[in-house]
């Protein structure tokens, strides 16, 4: 019973940073934990990294997954570009209030059953080399080919629990997989952006109830006409929040064309503006919901960009990112 299991106080919840509180790590169950890494990128530049856990030989086992919303981390993805640079996903989560009890879940595996963990984000942080300063600003992955690896770490057959007085302790849990597993690697290709298009966007510093205008300019620097979908995407990726998207319709009055698309002549440009506060943003990472930007993410620091897409689909072309504080009083 739980009352008989030994507990050891601990100050941090990151399993990968903690030595086993019971001394030497206990032996893992006979079946081995298998881990497969998958990766993909959509036309908006959002990368999906997936870790698929399974019993390597079909036998029964259990493994621990820490709750990332409460400071835990069992799975770590690393992407190494063909130029040798290494990147890790910048995937902040929505913090949740502390709860008494296990700070994650014990996941059973048997036979062909799998349990997946997915991280979706457009932003990554380059891992600094020893001679480089730390604290890099999150950014999109540069175009290129990446080797994607996933590591799982759990130090021993114990799990972290929060007590009623707020302490986090390790509680022995027989049968939980203990050890380190490196997943089978995969590759990811980030395509280069169109060399013909340039997208510029401007957004003022936003206040909670302010109607912030967003101004968009699309330039065709190539030698052939470009036909673009009339629906643009406004993407907002933030710290401690969902990443959210909104559809921005290029008005026919300002950007002539048909109902679904418009043309930009060689060497030409089109510009228009819209009320950012009137856009409805959708969040999909944790739960589906819709609302104005400040209600969806504020108060938070977010990175905004505007994307245009060729008619008929294909990778979008994005404006440079703009970091803005959303949902906070405007500076005077």
Q: Where do the domains of the chain lie?
A: 2-190, 197-326
Is 188 a residue whose pLDDT tops 70? yes
Percentage of the chain exceeding pLDDT 90: 35
Is 100 a residue whose pLDDT tops 50? yes
Summary mean pLDDT of the chain: 80
Q: How many CA atoms lie within 13 A of 203 on its CB side?
A: 28
Is 217 a residue whose pLDDT tops 80? yes
Who wins on pLDDT, 325 or 121? 121
Confidence of residue 9 (pLDDT cuts 50, 70, 90): very low
In the block, residue with structure tokens 């559809």: 247
Report the pLDDT value the prediction gives residue 43, as an integer from 0 to 100: 92
HEC string for the chain: CHHHCCEEEECCCCHHHCCCCCCCCCCCCCCCEEEEEEEEECCCCCEEEEEEEEECCCCCEEEEEECHHHCCCCEEEEEEECCCCEEEECCCCCCCCCCCEECEEEEEECCCCEEEEEEEECCEEECCCCCCCCCCCCECCCCEEEEEEEEEEECCCEEEEECCCCCEEEEECCCECCEEEECECEEEEECCCCCCEEEEEECCCCCCCCCCEEEEEEEECCCCCEEEECEEEEEEEECCCCCEEEEEECCCCCCCECCCEEEECCCCEEEEEEEHHHCCEEECCCCCEEECHHHHHCCEEEEEEEEECECCCCCCEECCCEEEEECCCCCC
Who wins on pLDDT, 100 or 52? 52
Among 11-15, 87-91, 226-230, 307-311, which is the least confidently predicted range? 11-15
Confidence of residue 27 (pLDDT cuts 50, 70, 90): very low
Is 4 a residue whose pLDDT tops 60? no
CA dist list (Å): 247 to 194, 313, 323:
21, 15, 19
Dump pLDDT digits (tens) for 282-301: 886 655 578 888 878 767 78
Rounded to an integer, the average pLDDT of 112-138 is 79
Confidence of residue 91 (pLDDT cuts 50, 70, 90): low
Who wins on pLDDT, 315 or 4? 315
Report the pLDDT value the prediction gives residue 48, as an integer from 0 to 100: 92
Report the pLDDT value the prediction gives residue 293, as an integer from 0 to 100: 83
Q: What's the topology of domain 197-326?
A: Immunoglobulin-like (2.60.40)
Is 2 a residue whose pLDDT tops 80? no
Report the pLDDT value the prediction gives residue 239, as an integer from 0 to 100: 57
**pTM of the predicted model as reported, rounded to 2 decimal places:** 0.82
Rounded to an integer, the average pLDDT of 132-159 is 85
Report the pLDDT value the prediction gives residue 242, as an integer from 0 to 100: 60
Is 105 a residue whose pLDDT tops 80? yes
Confidence of residue 209 (pLDDT cuts 50, 70, 90): very low
Report the pLDDT value the prediction gives residue 177, as an integer from 0 to 100: 87
């Amino acid at each position: 019973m739980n009352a008989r299991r030994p507990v050891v106080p601990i100050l941090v919840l990151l399993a990968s940073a903690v030595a086993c509180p019971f001394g030497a790590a206990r032996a893992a169950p006979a079946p081995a934990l298998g881990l497969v890494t998958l990766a993909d990128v959509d036309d908006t530049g959002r990368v999906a990294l997936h870790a698929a856990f399974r019993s390597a030989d079909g036998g029964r086992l259990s493994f621990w997954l820490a709750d990332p919303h409460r400071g835990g981390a069992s799975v770590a993805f690393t992407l190494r570009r063909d130029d040798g640079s290494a990147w890790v996903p910048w995937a902040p989560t929505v913090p949740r209030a502390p709860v008494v009890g296990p700070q994650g879940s014990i996941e059973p595996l048997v036979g062909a059953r799998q349990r997946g963990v997915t991280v979706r984000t457009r932003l990554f942080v380059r891992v600094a080399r020893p001679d480089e300063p730390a604290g890099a600003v999150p950014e999109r992955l540069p175009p290129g080919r990446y080797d994607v690896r996933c590591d799982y770490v759990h130090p021993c057959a114990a799990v972290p629990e929060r007590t009623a007085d707020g302490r986090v302790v390790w509680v022995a849990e027989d049968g939980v997989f203990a050890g380190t597993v490196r997943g089978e690697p995969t590759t990811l290709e980030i395509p280069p952006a169109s060399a013909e298009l340039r997208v510029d966007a401007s957004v003022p510093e936003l206040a909670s109830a302010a109607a912030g205008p967003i101004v968009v300019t699309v330039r065709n620097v190539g030698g052939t006409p470009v036909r673009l979908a009339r629906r643009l995407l406004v993407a907002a990726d933030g710290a401690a929040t969902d990443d959210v998207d909104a559809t921005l319709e290029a008005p026919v009055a300002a950007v002539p064309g048909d109902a679904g698309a418009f043309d930009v002549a060689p060497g030409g440009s089109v510009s228009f503006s819209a009320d950012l506060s009137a856009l409805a943003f959708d969040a999909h990472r944790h739960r589906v919901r819709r609302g104005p930007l400040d209600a969806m993410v504020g108060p938070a620091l977010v990175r905004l960009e505007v994307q245009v897409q060729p008619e008929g689909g294909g990778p979008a072309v994005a404006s440079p990112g703009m970091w803005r504080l959303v949902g906070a009083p405007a500076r005077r």
